Amino acid sequence: MAAFLPLLDAWILAHGSTTFSLGRILRLYTSLVGPAMMVTGGLVAARARSEALLEASVAEAQVAKNRLLQSQIHPHVLFNALNGLAELVHKSPKAAESAIRHLSDLLRRIMRASEFMRLPLGEERKIISDFLALEAIRLGDRLRVVWEWDERLDVLEVPPLLLQPLVENAIKHGISPSIAGGELILRARAEDGLIFLEVWNSGEPMHAGEGGPGIGVKNLRSRLSLHFGPGASFSIGPSGLGTLASIRLESIQVECLHEAPQRPGGR
């Protein structure tokens, strides 16, 4: 508004200020300022629309990237499960029949989970339980599982199939190669403002990059970065007499997640 006052003063001086009533001056001022304000308002609105479109495009790109990463995992889980089932058919047809039922439960959960960007950690635990039931049929007492799981963390929102690839990797590279099998420890704990999701196995200690980790482990860092940004990290390496794969989340990052849509239910 102030920018137009010098123009108004100059116009009045040029035409003689005594010939103008206050009403005429106000009308003149309105005729000068009105169009300019309309143009300014239009520019502001256009900028707001552009920013909204940019934010929507970024969000859509993140969703597309997440779908791509998840699509790499789902067939991977299925193919590995079928390979284990094929091995079991020759050894014990009766056990294979039971394994097929567990595989059906596992795939049903995975299909439901794939519809969501995030799901409660408790649902991830159920997926892991179904997977371990399937592996227990194949490995028998060679697979010994210990849960050190704080169930209060089950409400936390995480990307689907976040831990399952780590469990699968631990069994494949740490427990299956051993004739005696081994122990698998699954942990979910909160400590010093951080949240740790961990998979430990008693097999030969393995460093990051060893053992040829599959697709599920390779894209884990990308998925963590997509969902949590710098507030998440992943590491794998020797721990005691075994190997520890650990996901660390800053609790503030978890608490700030947006409200997610309705979650998949139980069986």
Neighbours of 180 (CB within 10 A): 8
Q: How far apart are CA 31 and CA 25, in angstroms?
A: 10
Which structure tokens are listed for 250?
């800053």
CA-to-CA distance for 198 and 163, rounded, in angstroms? 8
Residue ranges covered by each domain of the chain: 65-255
SS3 (DSSP) at 112: helix
Distances (CA, A) of 94 to 35, 134, 216: 83, 13, 30
**Entry field: residues in the chain:** 267
Q: Are residues 192 and 212 in contact, defined by beta-carbon separation less than 8 angstroms?
A: no
The C-alpha torsion from 44 through 50 and 54 to 57, rounded to 10°, is 140
Distance, C-alpha 65 to centroid of its chain: 10
Q: Per residue of the chain (267 residues), what is the pLDDT tens digit? A: 555 555 555 555 555 555 555 556 556 656 665 666 666 666 666 666 655 555 554 444 454 444 544 545 556 666 666 777 777 777 777 777 788 888 888 888 888 877 788 899 999 999 999 999 988 988 899 999 999 999 999 999 998 889 988 998 899 889 999 999 999 999 999 998 899 999 999 988 776 555 445 566 677 888 888 888 888 999 999 998 899 999 999 865 555 444 444 444 443
Q: Tokens 């970024």 appear where?
A: 58
Alpha-helical (H) ranges within 140-219 are 164-170, 215-218
The token duo for 263 is 């979650």
Query: What is the residue type of 193?
Result: G
- Note the pLDDT of residue 69: 46
Sheet of 143-149: strands edge to edge? 143-149, 182-191, 194-201, 242-250, 232-239
In this prediction, residue 74 carries a pLDDT of: 54
pLDDT at 92: 77
CATH code matching the domain that covers 65-255, chosen among 2.40.50.140, 3.30.565.10, 3.40.50.620, 3.40.50.1400: 3.30.565.10
3-state class (DSSP) for residue 210: coil
Which tokens hold the place of 138? 């194949």
Distance CA 216, CA 164 (A): 8
Decide: 264 and 119 in contact? Cβ < 8 Å.
Answer: yes
Longest CA span, the chain: 110
252 membership: H or E segment, kind and range? helix 251-255
